[in-house]
Structure 1
Amino acid sequence: MRGCEASWPRHSTDKTSRTRFLLLSVPLPARGIIFDLDGTLIDSAPDLVRACNQVLGSLDREAVSLEVGRRWIGNGAKRLVERALLGGFDGRADPDLLEKAYALFQRFYQDGVCVESRLYPGVLDTLNSLLSQQKPIACVTNKPSAFTLPLLKALSLEHFFDPVISGDDLAQKKPDPMPLEHVSSAWGLRPGDCLMVGDSMSDLDAAKACGMPVVLVRYGYSQGLDIEALGADAVLDSMEDFAKVFN
């Protein structure tokens, strides 16, 4: 691909496909690609929700369904636990109870970080394609490093990313732009020369704050938000579409 005008349709009009491609403001392909983890590359909801339910059971509370728990994922593991305690997004949990619950969650999730977690369709092909093109690829997640690295290793993904930035590696995490700026600086690139690929408002806000183009996937953990309306540069139905557009 030489440039965005020749390569990117402004809007897909094919009624057999729901994938929407919007014109980006920078030439593509980007010189470096930054991926979110949960909800973008990996469907980790079954293991995350199971650990939450183990916490709730330890506290004599009722378990939640996978469908409900899936909507709470985003903004880091501790916030997920807090939402489980609250039964939703509103309010704040008692600090002492939250610390106790989060300690339990860490133990339960560490013991089962990759039992049912799976790669989304097209992820492996996309990463292999980028690797063959010698594109720098990073993973930036709000997941604590104690969980990120074991999960990547369990799914044989760790060799794709340099660097891997977890939620506790820097002073700030997404939606702050610091992790994305850190990666682009490590690559010797401007943020605008890179591309963020994620599934949530945190990914979008972090990218927009540093002038980085951002693609959102429709299948991830968007907490019920309308992905189409968030203002991403592109919205994709699957990671298989990423390979079609960027190769």
Structure 2
Amino acid sequence: MSKFSSIKHMRSIKALVFDMDGTLCLPQPWMFPAMRKAIGLEDKSIDILKFIDDMPTEVQRAKAREAIHGVEEQAMIEMEPQPGLRELMGYLTTHSYSKSICTRNVITPVNYFVSKFIPVGFNLFDYSVTRDFRPTKPYPDPLLYISRELGIDASEMMMVGDSMDDMRSGRSAGCITILLKNHVNGHIMTDHKDLVDYPIDNLSEIITILEKINI
């Protein structure tokens, strides 16, 4: 019996939405602690973007945004693609699935990653929704926006990510959720398994899921 032999889903999947950091590219566990340090945020329970948004003056907010941009630029230089990325992107393109990106990053690293690591012909994404879109994940709004623009129901989309924000956003939007497991997110399957429809170890496993759903 295969890993995904019991797959059941009411609707065919027409679109996939991917987180970027830790999903399309390998995790960089140092990045978020470095961002928190750069803006003086010691409380790990406070969201980084909310902390910046709540700063009292625009001067402070601008300075904080500049500080995290510096961290993101270094992370961009050190990006490496996930195993199975090219195989999956090729499959999705040749089988006419819609592909989009939903990230809390900014557009520059998105464009850099797509152009560097995904072959031409397979690297066209319908939408790249960044943190300029508010509210961001974990709210469902970015995914609902993509589904509306595509003219499909959110239940016809997959949200592929590696974090609680990804899973919460996907679940609340009504998408199928796929968790790409790694060495730092095991707590999601332990404590919040209800948010995950399909856990995977490699992006190429999504091909098997799609072939079983879209029979």
Shared fold (TM-score, shorter chain, > 0.5): yes
Check if 1:240 corresponds to 2:204: yes
Instruction: State the partner residue of 2:89.
Output: 127
Check if 1:89 corresponds to 2:21: no
CA RMSD of aligned residues (A): 3.0
Instruction: State the partner residue of 1:26.
Output: 10
Instruction: State the partner residue of 1:77.
Output: none
The one of 189, 204, 221 equivalent to 2:167 is 204
Distance in structure 1 (CA, Å) of the matches to 2:96 and 2:71: 38
- CA spacing shift, 1:101–1:173, aligned 2, 3 Å: closer
* 1:69-84 map, 5 Å: 69=30, 72=32, 81-82=35-36
The one of 149, 159, 175 equivalent to 2:138 is 175
Distance in structure 1 (CA, Å) of the matches to 2:126 and 2:67: 31
Cα displacement (A) at 1:213:
1.3
* 1:74-223 map, 5 Å: 81-82=35-36, 85-86=40-41, 89-90=44-45, 95=55, 100-107=63-70, 109-110=72-73, 112=74, 114-156=76-118, 159-168=123-132, 170-219=133-182, 222=185
Please give the TM-score of this superposition, normalised by the length of structure 2. 0.76
Cα displacement (A) at 1:151:
3.0
What amino acid does structure 2 have at the position aligned with 1:216? L
Gaps of 5+ in 1: 1-6, 11-22, 46-66, 74-79
What amino acid does structure 2 have at the position aligned with 1:153? S
- CA spacing shift, 1:25–1:114, aligned 2, 3 Å: same
Q: Please give the secondary structure, in 2, of the residue aligned with 1:42.
A: coil
Contact 1:199 1:221 in 2 (8 A): no
Contact 1:39 1:220 in 2 (8 A): no
Cα displacement (A) at 1:129:
0.4
What amino acid does structure 2 have at the position aligned with 1:103? E
Gaps of 5+ in 2: none
Distance in structure 1 (CA, Å) of the matches to 2:135 and 2:183: 23
Matched-pair identity in %: 19
What amino acid does structure 2 have at the position aligned with 1:37? M
Distance in structure 2 (CA, Å) of the matches to 1:221 and 1:33: 24
Distance in structure 2 (CA, Å) of the matches to 1:90 and 1:198: 20
Instruction: State the partner residue of 1:38.
Output: 21
Larger radius of gyration between Structure 1 and Structure 2: 1
Please give the TM-score of this superposition, normalised by the length of structure 1. 0.67
Distance in structure 1 (CA, Å) of the matches to 2:159 and 2:119: 18
What amino acid does structure 2 have at the position aligned with 1:192? S
What amino acid does structure 1 have at the position aligned with 2:26? D
Contact 2:143 2:170 in 1 (8 A): yes
Q: Please give the secondary structure, in 1, of the residue aligned with 2:23.
A: coil
Cα displacement (A) at 1:229:
3.7
Cα displacement (A) at 1:235:
0.7
- CA spacing shift, 1:82–1:24, aligned 2, 3 Å: farther
Q: Please give the secondary structure, in 2, of the residue aligned with 1:43.
A: coil
